Structure 1
Amino acid sequence: MTVDINPTTVLELLPARPRVLALGEPTHGADVLLEVRNDLFRQLVEQEGYRTIAIESDCLLGLVVDDYVTSGAGTLDEAMRRGFSHGLGGSAANRDLVRWMRAHNEGRPAPERVHFAGFDAPTEISHAPSPRQALTALHAYLTARVDPGLLPCTADCLDRLLGADERWADTAAMWDPAKSVGRTPEARELRVLADDLVALLDAQAPELAAQDGWDRARLHGRTATGLLRYHFWMAEPSPSRMAWLLSVRASMMAADLLALAGPVLAFAHNAHLQRHRSTIRMGEAPAEWWSAGALVEAALGEGYAVLATALGTLRDQGVETPPPNTIEGRLYALPSDRFLVDPRSLSDLEPRVSPWFGYAPVDPAHLTGIDGIVFVRDA
């Protein structure tokens, strides 16, 4: 029923070799789960030729980490401080990952180096930032490479329309649409200009795609248009507002994953990687949307595979020994601390109820959408 967690046992569960192999976690902040991820990624690199790991962290900040692991730019401390969002730079397991990637790349030719990517939108639960960084980086890239007459605006024009970054990042706008600047005349004009800048970038692909900076320019373009769309829907007063915000974030995450050259190990919360429709209740009305994983599978089919991590206990948060009739309880009764399970071997189980909002048990109703379960006994 159970096997060790390694590339061979994982790939034996799958119908085809995936371009994106997703590994989910049921909670954030437990380093033991990241240690399992690190071990699997190292083995995938050494045995299966994987070259990229993508994690649920700001896609723009992740460029700092990638520069460090691929070329040694900066220091490890700087990469951890400046290259992660959501406090992830303080994780010892994330630090071990970045240190190993840098050591692995030392002295290797560029095609053999491993890469780091963040694939989350640069948003927080409390606010969304100004699109300035992404938009001005895209404009600067094009300014240096194309006929100036093709540019739809100047850098000064962008700066004027963007205004003060604090207006965009106002935390009050997350819950009060009237506080958002996302539908001001300036924001609407920026959406058109961003779209034109991305269109210009695409139109220059035959000349630019083989040059350095192309992938990052595309990332800046996706992020700029995505953030402007996100701010537009922050200003929406109807009940559909939250569903739109969640959908925009998921779409940005999916686009970032699909842009990476495979094979890729993607690591995020189980909820972001699941194939089933996602639901959440914030306030009176529930919101539904398709997660990044569902969107990636729609594009890749069997090129997408997902492993969900199930956790037995998280005692410092009051998550004690699981009931025996749950997924976690069935697996907790087995003798090993960490192992891989074929979800088709599990049936007749009840949902586990979490006493803590920050931990989400694996839903038995979702077993048909999971390729494998990674079980960790205690965190």
Structure 2
Amino acid sequence: MIKQIELPFFAKIAFILITLLSLGFLFYIGKDVITPVLMAFLVAVLLLPIFTFLNVKFRFPRYLAAILSVLFFAACIIGIMVFISYQVSDIANDFSTIKKNANSFLVDIQKFIKDNFNLSLGEQNKYIDDVAKDSVKNGKATLGSALISVSDLLLDCTIIPIYTFLFLIYKDHFILFLAKLIKKENHNTLKDILCQIKVSVNNYIISLILEMIIVSILTALGLWIIGVKYFVLLGLITGILNMIPYIGIMLAGVITIFASLTGTPETSVIISILIVNVIVQLIDNNILVPLIINSKVEINAMVSIIGIIIGGAASGISGMFLAIPLLAILKIIFDRIESLEPWGYFMGNHMPKKFTWRIRKIKIES
């Protein structure tokens, strides 16, 4: 354990809260720079076994081993994107069918609203026209935001591989830097922290990929059973988007419903799609996440949800994705520093079997 200077309890709390708030503020104002660096760090940890294998077993130079590792990762991502693009082009060929079925579906919905909510077709169309006018007014701002998002995405796709390459090249340099910051008697603790971070982050990413594969297979199987076209593509998209907490599965459901209109506009098919998504999510949340994810990252649900919300508010989808591994790293550090150990316990998911306060009654004689 790293021994710290003894301070009053209120001073410790104040320092910890000020440090966390400062780190959060720095992350918020520098998210455009920090987020790609953190994403590259996760990718570098994932590729570290491949880099070590090439560098140690095959005695490749560090630069060549790093380049091959990054190229392997990029090839996997590009392969998935090419498959999705190829399938999406097929869906685009069915656009006329989608438009026809979508109009038929909207007519059915309007009839349902008219029959159950006494809202005439004219009133519904007027409301739709008003919404369309508002959309046109905000169109320029939306288009500008979309262009900025696309440009940021392209920049990240370029710079993250570069950062990953540099992390792999300068891995030992960074470790030595951390060792120089800490006294020699605490080097064993530092080594333990770094090893645990590598294992925890690596296991988390691998578990996330495994969860994505299982969710993709289950969704594709369910869509195939109910007769949805492009079930393989939609299953893969659902698995990928499921990696984004909360909003990912909802977005995947909207895409699946839209793609199902290539075959039929029947409401029963759309209801079946929703049922498939709900069943897959129940399996994911109650079996896959506890068995695969939570067993690798020992963070309780409350801290995870708060961290994901804060990450989303600070840096959008990237922040939500980074929240869990960053919390896991913080917990590893907290568990190995004596003054921060209670916070590590608070973040964990170890539930005591039984805990009761025992208060002795003291009789005061006058």
TM-score higher than 0.5 here? no
More strand by share: 1
Q: Higher helix proportion, which one?
A: 2
TM-score band, normalised by shorter chain? under 0.3
Q: Which structure would you say has the larger Rg? A: 2
Q: What TM-score, normalized by structure 2, do the two folds share?
A: 0.23
